[in-house]
Structure 1
C-alpha cells in the first residue's frame, strides 16, 4: 500500500506541477500582453498629447526650437522621444545623437502612419540603444494642415511588463502554497484510504494462513469501512466453518480410532494417509509411523496386497475373507472401497479389516454343539428304544428281566431329562433371558443348601464334606447364580471322587475379590485336557462320565455364570490326586 500511496502522490504532484507551469505560462503571457497593451494605450495617449503641443508650436518655430522644446519635454517624461522628418531623417532623439542615426523612414511604425494609420505601433530591438522597445508614431502637421514629420515615442518593454513580473511572483508563491496544501491533503486522503486497505490486506493474508482471529478495526470512508466489515464477517464465518470442520474431523478420527474394525486409507499413489489403532494391532505393525510410505512395503499379507491392487485396477469395491498369519493367525473379512470424485477419478482407497476369528470359532462351536447334542441324545434314546422293543417282543413276561430293563429305561430317561434341562438352561443363559437380581448372599448358607441337596449321594459314597471360612463371607450377586456355580462344582467333585474320599468348600476374601475353593481328592484331570474341560459335552473319560450321570454341560454353565458376574475360574489338578476349582468373584458388583 505504501507503493500505491507513493504512486498517487507522485501522480498528483506531477499533474499539479504541469498544470501550474501551464497556468503560469498562460497567465504570464496574458498579463504581459495586457500590460504591454495597457502601457501602449497610455503611450499613445501621451503621444497624441505631445503631438498636439508640437502642432501648436511648430507653425512659427524652427527645427532648432522644436528640438529644444522636445528636450524640455523629455526631461519631464521617461519615454524616449524621436522626431523624424518626412524624408526619414532623425531631427531629434532624446536618447541618442540624431547625427549618428540612420534614416528611419522604413521603420514599421512610420510606414504604418505613411500607409494611413493614425498611430503606428511596433516593438523591436533598438539598433541604436540595444533595448527592446515599444514604438508609437504619429504624423505631425503644421497649423495650415501640411505634414511636417513624424513624432515617435518609445518605451522599454521590460519596464512596461515590470508590474507583470510582480504579479507573476505573487502567483508563483500562491501556486507553491496551493501545491503544498494539495499535496498535504492528498497525503492525508491517500493515508486514510491506504491504511485501512493495508489492514484489510493483513486480515486477508491471515485468512490464507488459516488464522481467523484478525479483524478490521480501522476508520475510513463509509464505503471502505463497509468493505472491511464484510471481511470481518467473512473471517467470522470462516472461523466458525473451520471450527466445525475441525470438530467433525476430530469426531471422525475419534470414531475411527474406536472402531472395532481395522481401517487405513491409501491415496492414488499407494501411500498410507491414515491408520487406526485396531489396524495396527491386526497387522502387528505400527503403520501410524509409516504415514506417507507405500502400503505394500509395510503389509506382510500377499492376499491383502493382491485384493488392494485388484481394487486399484478395477475401480470397484472388493470383498474377500482372508487368513492373516502375522503376527498371529486370524480370519478377517476385508473390504477395499475406492472413493471416487464427481469426475470419476479415484481420490482415496479405504481398506477395512473385520476380525471374524471369534465368529468363525463360535460357528464351529455351534456346529460341534449340534453334533454333540445329537450324539448325546442318540445314546439314551437308542437305549430306551432298544429296551422297550425287547420288552414288547416278549421279555416283559419275565419279571426279573422286566424290572432290570425298566430300571435302565428310567435311568436313561432321567439322564435324558437332565441333559435337556441343562441344554435349555445354557441356552437361556446365553440368550440373556435369565434376569439377574443382586442380593447380599452368604456363601455358607448357599453351601449348606447344596449339602442338603447332595447329602444322599455324599453319604452313599461315605465322602467327608467340609466347609471353611475364617470370617463370614458375603457376596452381592444373584443367589441362584451362586447356587448353580457351587452346586455344579460340588456335584462334579462328589461324582468323580471315589468312596471314602473328601470334598471341601472354602471361602475367603482377597483384597476386592472373594475366592471360593472347591477341592476333592478324586481321579483328577490330565494336564493336556485341562484347557478343554469347560467346553460343552467335553469329557475326560466318556464312559466314566456317563456312568457318573453327568451331561457334559455343568462346567460350561459354571464358566458362563462366573464370567457373566465379572469373575473368573481357575483349575489346578493332578491325576489320581484330585482337583481344585477356584471361583474368583468381585466383592461388590
Structure 2
C-alpha cells in the first residue's frame, strides 16, 4: 500500500511542480511586463509633471534659463537623474553630472524622438558619464508660443526596476514553495486516508488468494472504497461457504470411497496410479497404497485385468468382464473399466472398479447344489410312496401281510419326507432370522445332562460311554429349547459316527465372556479336505451311514444358523480315524 501512496504522492508532486513552473513563468513574465510598464508610465508621468510645473511657474512664458533656475529649486529623488538639453543637443542642466563634462546629446535616441515631434522619447542604454544602465524618458519643453525650446530628460537606473522584478520573483518563489509544502502535506494526509483502507482491502485480497477465507475487511472507508470493502467481504464469505461445502463434499466422498466394498483405482493418462481405496487392496491381496504414483501393472499382476485396462485406453470405451485371480488366492472379480476426462483437454483417465463376486458364485453353487440335493433327497421317499402305492393298487392290498409291510414302509418314508420338509423350512427361517427366541437364564450343565438322556439309549445299545466334564459352573442367557436342539444334534452325530464301545465327552468351561462347549468323540473322523463343507446343506461325510440313521443332511446347517442366531460361533477339529471335536462358543450375556 505504501507503494500506492508513494505513487499518488509522486504523481501529484510532478503535476504540481509542472503546474507551478508554468504558472510561475507566466506570472513572472506578466508581472515583469506590468512592473516595467508601470515604472515607464510613472517615469513619463513624472517627466511631464516636471515640464508642466516649469511651464506654470514661468507664467506661461519660459526659456531655458528660467527653466534651469526653477529646476535648481526642485527636490529630485536620489535614484532619478534630471537633464535639460537644448535644441542643438548641448546639455544645459544635469542633476547628476557636471554639464561642462558632458558631450553633445544630439544623437541620443530619446532626444531625436522628441525633435521628431513625438510627445515622449524612451531609451535604455548604459550612461557614458555614470557607467550605469539607465532608463531614459524625454519630454519637450515648450515656449510661450508653444514652440519647442528644449528637451527635458528624466532617467532612472534599470537596476532599480530589475530589483522590483527580482522581488516579484522571490515573492512568487516563496509563495510557490509554501504552497507546495502545504499542498504536499495535505495530499499526503489525504492519500494516506485513501490508501490505508485500500491497503487493508489488498491484504484481505492477498489472504483470500492464499486460501485464508476467514479474513474480513473491518476498516473505515468512504464512498467507492467502502463499497469495495463490502464487496470483498461478500466475496470472502461466499468463498468460505463454498470452501466449506467443497471440504464437506470431499470428506463425504472420501468416506464413501473408503467404505465401499467395491475396489476403486484411479489411473491417469500416463498409466500411473493416482488413488486407491482399502477395498482395492483387499481384493488384490496386498496393500497397494504405497504404489500411488507407480504404474498400475505393479499393483494388478493380472494379465486379464491389464488387458482390459489397455483396451479401455485404446478404444476409450467402458470395459466389463469377470476376471479370475489366482494370486495370492483364487478369486472371481467383476471388473469395470470406465474412461473419464482428465484435467487437461485430451487427457484420458480411467477408473478401475473391482467387485469380489467369489462368495456370490460360491453361494450360487451352494444354491444349485441345494436344489439338486433337495430334489434328490425328496425323490427317494416320493418314489417309494409312489411305487408302493401303485403296487398296492395293482392288487397287493389283498395280501394283509404285504399290505401291512408296505404301509409301514410308506409311513416311514412319509415321516422322513415330513422331517426333510420341516428341516428345509426351519433352515430357511433361520437364514432369514425369523425364528423367535425365548430368552431366559440357562444352567448349562443341567441342559447338557438332560440332552444326553435323549441319546442315552442309543449309546447304551452301542455300549458307548457318555461323559460330562464341568470345568466351570455356568449360567448363560439364551433360548433353552434351541440350545438343546444344538446339543442334541451334535451329541447324536457323535454317537452315530462313533463305533461300538466308543466314547463321547462333553466339556463345559469359560473363556473370557464366552461359554465354551466341546463335544468330542473317538469315531471315524472327518477328512481334512471336507471339514470346510460339513455345514453345507445335504453334505454327508459318510452318506450311507447318514441315510441309514434317518438323517436329512441338514442337521449341521441348522446347528450353524441356530448358533449364529444366538450370537455364537461353531468350529470343528478332526483327524480321520481318530475322532472329531465340535467347539461351540456362546456369549454368557449376549446383550452386553
Normalised TM-score (structure 1): 0.90
Q: Matches of 1:42 and 1:541 in 2, distance apart?
A: 151
CA offset at residue 67 of structure 1? 5.4
Indicate yes or no: 2:332 matched with 1:331: yes
Q: Matches of 2:386 and 2:433 in 1, distance apart?
A: 35
Query: 2:83 — aligned with what?
Result: 82
Query: 2:186 — aligned with what?
Result: 185
Gaps of 5+ in 1: none
Indicate yes or no: 2:41 matched with 1:44: no
Q: Matches of 2:191 and 2:388 in 1, distance apart?
A: 117
Query: 2:24 — aligned with what?
Result: 24
Indicate yes or no: 2:316 matched with 1:315: yes
How many correspondences in the alignment?
589
- Measured against aligned partners, the alpha-carbon deviations of 1:491-532 in whole angstroms (never above 9, x if no partner) come to 222333445554443322222110122233444334443333
- Measured against aligned partners, the alpha-carbon deviations of 1:524-545 in whole angstroms (never above 9, x if no partner) come to 3344433332222222221121
Shift of the 59–196 alpha-carbon distance from structure 1 to 2, 3 Å rule, reads closer
Q: Matches of 1:345 and 1:565 in 2, distance apart?
A: 58
Query: 1:450 — aligned with what?
Result: 451
Q: Matches of 1:159 and 1:229 in 2, distance apart?
A: 65
Query: Contact between 1:134 and 1:156, CA under 8 Å: does it hold in 2?
Result: yes
Q: Matches of 2:81 and 2:368 in 1, distance apart?
A: 145
Query: Contact between 2:444 and 2:474, CA under 8 Å: does it hold in 1?
Result: yes
Query: 1:385 — aligned with what?
Result: 386
**Secondary structure at 2:350's aligned position in 1?**
strand
CA offset at residue 283 of structure 1? 1.7
Query: 2:35 — aligned with what?
Result: 35
Query: Contact between 1:443 and 1:474, CA under 8 Å: does it hold in 2?
Result: yes
Q: Matches of 2:541 and 2:18 in 1, distance apart?
A: 117
Query: 1:205 — aligned with what?
Result: 206
Which range moved further: 339-348 or 274-283? 339-348
CA offset at residue 134 of structure 1? 2.2
Gaps of 5+ in 2: none
Query: 1:220 — aligned with what?
Result: 221
Shift of the 118–175 alpha-carbon distance from structure 1 to 2, 3 Å rule, reads same
**Secondary structure at 1:475's aligned position in 2?**
strand
Query: 1:580 — aligned with what?
Result: 581
- Measured against aligned partners, the alpha-carbon deviations of 1:34-66 in whole angstroms (never above 9, x if no partner) come to 333333333334323432454455999986776
Query: Contact between 2:28 and 2:169, CA under 8 Å: does it hold in 1?
Result: yes
Which range moved further: 27-36 or 301-310? 27-36
Query: Contact between 2:60 and 2:144, CA under 8 Å: does it hold in 1?
Result: yes
Query: Contact between 1:562 and 1:568, CA under 8 Å: does it hold in 2?
Result: yes
Query: 2:155 — aligned with what?
Result: 154
Q: Matches of 1:557 and 1:395 in 2, distance apart?
A: 40
Q: Matches of 1:292 and 1:466 in 2, distance apart?
A: 63
Normalised TM-score (structure 2): 0.89
Query: Contact between 1:257 and 1:278, CA under 8 Å: does it hold in 2?
Result: yes
**Secondary structure at 1:298's aligned position in 2?**
helix
Shift of the 216–351 alpha-carbon distance from structure 1 to 2, 3 Å rule, reads same
Indicate yes or no: 2:274 matched with 1:273: yes
Indicate yes or no: 2:286 matched with 1:288: no
Q: Matches of 2:463 and 2:287 in 1, distance apart?
A: 62
